[in-house]
Amino acid sequence: MKMKPMRNAILSPKTQTAGFTLFEIMLVVVIIVLLGGAAINYMGGNLGIAQETRTRTDLQTISTQLKIYQAMNGFYPTTEQGLNALIAEPTTNPKPAQWRQLMEKMPVDPWGNNYFYVSPGKRNPNSFDLYSAGPDRKPDTDDDIGNWDRK
Protein backbone atom coordinates (compact mmCIF):
# COMPACT_ATOMS: atom_id res chain seq x y z
CA MET A 1 0.00 0.00 0.00
CA LYS A 2 1.42 3.27 -1.12
CA MET A 3 0.90 6.39 1.06
CA LYS A 4 0.22 9.80 -0.41
CA PRO A 5 2.72 12.47 0.45
CA MET A 6 1.63 14.81 3.27
CA ARG A 7 2.47 17.88 1.28
CA ASN A 8 -0.32 17.28 -1.21
CA ALA A 9 -2.95 16.85 1.57
CA ILE A 10 -2.01 20.14 3.23
CA LEU A 11 -2.19 22.15 0.04
CA SER A 12 -5.43 20.69 -1.26
CA PRO A 13 -8.15 23.26 -2.13
CA LYS A 14 -10.61 21.76 0.38
CA THR A 15 -8.53 22.65 3.45
CA GLN A 16 -7.77 26.12 2.16
CA THR A 17 -11.47 27.11 2.02
CA ALA A 18 -12.50 25.62 5.40
CA GLY A 19 -12.93 28.13 8.26
CA PHE A 20 -13.77 31.81 8.54
CA THR A 21 -11.64 34.83 7.87
CA LEU A 22 -10.98 37.41 10.56
CA PHE A 23 -13.16 39.87 8.64
CA GLU A 24 -16.14 37.51 8.66
CA ILE A 25 -15.82 36.89 12.39
CA MET A 26 -15.52 40.61 13.12
CA LEU A 27 -18.59 41.30 10.97
CA VAL A 28 -20.66 38.78 12.94
CA VAL A 29 -19.48 40.24 16.27
CA VAL A 30 -20.41 43.78 15.15
CA ILE A 31 -23.89 42.61 14.11
CA ILE A 32 -24.43 40.86 17.46
CA VAL A 33 -23.33 43.97 19.37
CA LEU A 34 -25.66 46.20 17.34
CA LEU A 35 -28.62 43.86 17.89
CA GLY A 36 -27.83 43.62 21.61
CA GLY A 37 -27.65 47.40 21.92
CA ALA A 38 -30.96 47.81 20.11
CA ALA A 39 -32.60 45.23 22.42
CA ILE A 40 -31.30 46.97 25.55
CA ASN A 41 -32.48 50.34 24.26
CA TYR A 42 -35.90 48.94 23.38
CA MET A 43 -36.36 47.24 26.77
CA GLY A 44 -34.78 50.01 28.87
CA GLY A 45 -38.13 51.42 29.99
CA ASN A 46 -39.13 48.06 31.42
CA LEU A 47 -36.44 48.22 34.09
CA GLY A 48 -38.38 50.79 36.14
CA ILE A 49 -41.54 48.71 35.91
CA ALA A 50 -39.65 45.60 37.00
CA GLN A 51 -38.09 47.42 39.97
CA GLU A 52 -41.46 48.74 41.12
CA THR A 53 -43.07 45.31 40.74
CA ARG A 54 -40.31 43.67 42.76
CA THR A 55 -40.65 46.33 45.46
CA ARG A 56 -44.40 45.76 45.73
CA THR A 57 -43.82 42.00 45.94
CA ASP A 58 -41.25 42.44 48.73
CA LEU A 59 -43.61 44.77 50.62
CA GLN A 60 -46.43 42.24 50.36
CA THR A 61 -44.18 39.43 51.61
CA ILE A 62 -42.89 41.45 54.56
CA SER A 63 -46.42 42.69 55.37
CA THR A 64 -47.68 39.11 55.49
CA GLN A 65 -44.93 38.15 57.92
CA LEU A 66 -45.67 41.19 60.10
CA LYS A 67 -49.35 40.18 60.23
CA ILE A 68 -48.35 36.66 61.29
CA TYR A 69 -46.15 38.19 64.02
CA GLN A 70 -49.10 40.30 65.17
CA ALA A 71 -51.45 37.29 65.16
CA MET A 72 -49.03 35.29 67.32
CA ASN A 73 -48.26 38.06 69.81
CA GLY A 74 -51.13 40.54 69.73
CA PHE A 75 -48.96 43.45 68.55
CA TYR A 76 -46.62 44.47 65.76
CA PRO A 77 -42.91 44.99 66.42
CA THR A 78 -42.16 48.53 67.55
CA THR A 79 -40.38 50.96 65.26
CA GLU A 80 -37.24 50.49 67.39
CA GLN A 81 -37.41 46.70 67.10
CA GLY A 82 -38.00 47.13 63.39
CA LEU A 83 -38.11 44.48 60.73
CA ASN A 84 -35.26 42.68 62.46
CA ALA A 85 -37.94 41.27 64.82
CA LEU A 86 -38.88 38.92 61.98
CA ILE A 87 -35.34 37.55 61.82
CA ALA A 88 -34.10 37.62 65.45
CA GLU A 89 -36.03 37.62 68.70
CA PRO A 90 -36.39 41.15 70.09
CA THR A 91 -34.58 41.87 73.35
CA THR A 92 -36.47 45.09 74.12
CA ASN A 93 -40.03 45.51 75.38
CA PRO A 94 -42.59 44.55 74.41
CA LYS A 95 -41.08 41.09 74.09
CA PRO A 96 -43.13 38.62 72.10
CA ALA A 97 -44.59 35.67 74.01
CA GLN A 98 -44.54 33.36 70.98
CA TRP A 99 -41.62 34.39 68.85
CA ARG A 100 -40.61 32.41 65.76
CA GLN A 101 -38.17 33.31 63.05
CA LEU A 102 -40.43 34.33 60.17
CA MET A 103 -37.77 35.33 57.63
CA GLU A 104 -34.24 34.12 56.92
CA LYS A 105 -32.99 37.57 55.95
CA MET A 106 -34.54 40.90 55.10
CA PRO A 107 -34.54 41.77 51.39
CA VAL A 108 -33.30 45.14 50.21
CA ASP A 109 -35.14 47.17 47.62
CA PRO A 110 -34.01 47.14 43.96
CA TRP A 111 -32.02 50.33 44.54
CA GLY A 112 -29.95 48.66 47.28
CA ASN A 113 -31.61 50.27 50.33
CA ASN A 114 -33.30 48.75 53.36
CA TYR A 115 -37.07 48.95 53.64
CA PHE A 116 -38.45 51.45 56.16
CA TYR A 117 -40.84 50.37 58.92
CA VAL A 118 -42.82 52.58 61.32
CA SER A 119 -45.29 51.24 63.89
CA PRO A 120 -47.84 52.63 64.44
CA GLY A 121 -47.78 54.11 60.98
CA LYS A 122 -48.25 57.74 60.06
CA ARG A 123 -50.37 56.78 57.04
CA ASN A 124 -51.75 53.58 58.61
CA PRO A 125 -52.28 54.57 62.27
CA ASN A 126 -53.96 51.25 63.17
CA SER A 127 -51.10 49.13 61.88
CA PHE A 128 -47.75 50.03 60.32
CA ASP A 129 -46.11 51.85 57.43
CA LEU A 130 -43.74 49.79 55.34
CA TYR A 131 -42.05 51.41 52.37
CA SER A 132 -39.12 51.79 50.02
CA ALA A 133 -37.47 55.17 49.46
CA GLY A 134 -37.80 54.51 45.73
CA PRO A 135 -35.47 55.48 42.91
CA ASP A 136 -34.26 58.71 44.53
CA ARG A 137 -33.21 56.72 47.66
CA LYS A 138 -34.57 59.45 49.93
CA PRO A 139 -37.37 58.56 52.37
CA ASP A 140 -40.54 60.62 52.66
CA THR A 141 -40.52 61.91 49.08
CA ASP A 142 -43.08 61.58 46.28
CA ASP A 143 -41.47 58.53 44.69
CA ASP A 144 -41.72 56.35 47.81
CA ILE A 145 -43.47 53.00 47.30
CA GLY A 146 -45.35 51.79 50.38
CA ASN A 147 -48.13 49.68 51.83
CA TRP A 148 -50.46 52.72 51.69
CA ASP A 149 -50.10 52.74 47.93
CA ARG A 150 -52.31 49.96 46.53
CA LYS A 151 -51.91 50.28 42.73
Q: What is the pLDDT of residues 27-62, one digit of tens each?
A: 999 999 988 888 777 776 777 888 999 999 999 999
Rg (CA), the chain: 30
pLDDT at 149 (0 to 100): 62
Is the Cβ–Cβ distance between 93 and 105 less than 8 Å? no
137, 121 Cβ separation under 8 angstroms:
no
Residue 64 has pLDDT above 60, yes or no: yes
pLDDT bucket at 142, cuts 50 / 70 / 90: confident
Q: Given this model, what pLDDT does residue 103 score?
A: 93
pLDDT on residue 46: 76
Q: Measuring CA to CA, which residue among 119, 117, 122 is closest to residue 73?
A: 119
- Among 11-15, 18-22, 109-113, whose mean pLDDT is lowest? 11-15
User: Band of the pLDDT at 151, cuts 50, 70, 90?
Assistant: very low
User: What percent of the chain has a predicted confidence (pLDDT) above 90?
Assistant: 54
CB 58 within 8 A of CB 107: yes
pLDDT at 94: 93
pLDDT(121) > 50 = yes
Q: What is the pLDDT of residues 76-107, one digit of tens each?
A: 999 999 999 999 999 999 999 889 999 999 99
Residue 122 has pLDDT above 50, yes or no: yes
Residue whose C-alpha is closest to residue 110's, from 67, 20, 48: 48
pLDDT score of 139 = 87
Q: What is the 3-state secondary structure (H, E, C) of the chain?
A: CCCCCHHHHHCCHHHHHCCCCHHHHHHHHHHHHHHHHHHHHHHCCHHHHHHHHHHHHHHHHHHHHHHHHHHHHCCCCCCCCHHHHHCCCCCCCCCCCCCCCCCCCCCECCCCCECEEECCCCCCCCCCEEEECCCCCCCCCCCCEECCCCC
